[in-house]
Amino acid sequence: MRLSRIERWLLRAAMPLMIIIVWQSVALSGTLKPVILPRFTDVLLALWKIILNGEFVKHIGTSFLRVIAGFCIGGAFGLLFGFGCGLYRNMEKTFGKFFMLLFPIPKLAFVPISLLWFGIDEASKLFIISLGSFYPIFITVSNGVRQLDKKYVELATVLQLSHGTFIRRIVIPNAYPYMISGMRISMGASWMCIIGAELAAGVVGIGYFLQDASTLSQTARVMAGMISIGIVGKTMDYALRYIEERIINWRKAYTGVHNGC
């Protein structure tokens, strides 16, 4: 049974509305102090105020540009080494093993060393974001290349395709879904990294905004900042999903069932 557009919209809105109702009810009951849980309406008011006074554009805009820059740098290296390690065993043995040795280390653990290497300027923040965005793309792309069906490799051999043509016409299209998935995960990781980097060293940015509001016990402003991150991050994820639908429109993926049967 296919749901109508209104029903799908209501289904998506059900959980957020339930959370907001419970949130507002608990806050109004006085069970928790406002510094612990402010009213949802106060959070919306705080968000509206930072939009009007320009703080939203200043802080979230700065963080957005940092995320995009770090995502592009880390993503480029992730694609390069992902395809390289997926295609060539010697490259995987040389670089892949080393990268995976560093992978379990939390990326925010690199913040102190990045401050020593690059200072508190933009370079240290870009380093952390690039590091965080590198791994999701590197892992998914290298895995995507290795998931190539052997029959396509055999077909390329029969047709005597050149190595460049094989990569361009077979390997890369097969890896598209893995690339997009890696990019979506990488984008989320970039936002997590920028918050940590700006908390440690920054005088502008959403991380600095959250820390400043927390120091002043302005919980509503903290939550307003968190909501703004969610809105911008989700918008960027939608953009990547739109790109995925246009690039991989030939791929009919399983989308789940409507009634759980």
What CATH topology corresponds to 38-247?
MetI-like fold (1.10.3720)
Q: How far apart are CA 250 and CA 177, in angstroms?
A: 11
Do the beta carbons of residue 191 and residue 68 sit within 8 Å? no
> Beta-carbon neighbour count of residue 179 at 10 Å?
22
Tokens at residue 63, please?
A: 């963080």
Indicate the residue type of 49: K
pLDDT in tens, 129-168: 999 999 999 999 999 888 888 888 888 888 888 888 888 8
pLDDT of residue 261: 43
**Res 3 pLDDT > 80:** no
Higher-pLDDT residue of 103 and 9 is 103
- Residue 65, CB-side half-sphere exposure with 13 Å CA sphere: 8
Q: Nearest CA to 178 among 142, 224, 140, 121?
A: 140
**Res 253 pLDDT > 60:** no
pLDDT of residue 252: 59
Which residues have CB under 8 Å from 71's CB, separation 6+?
129, 130, 133, 186, 187, 190
Please give the average per-residue pLDDT across 48-66, as a whole number.
90
pTM: 0.82
pLDDT of residue 170: 85
3-state helix, strand, coil in the chain (%, to 5): 80, 0, 20
pLDDT of residue 239: 87
Q: How far apart are CA 173 and CA 148, in angstroms?
A: 10
Report domain extents, the chain: 38-247
pLDDT of residue 54: 87
Q: Nearest CA to 188 among 251, 135, 225, 147?
A: 135
Q: Nearest CA to 128 among 180, 194, 66, 79?
A: 194
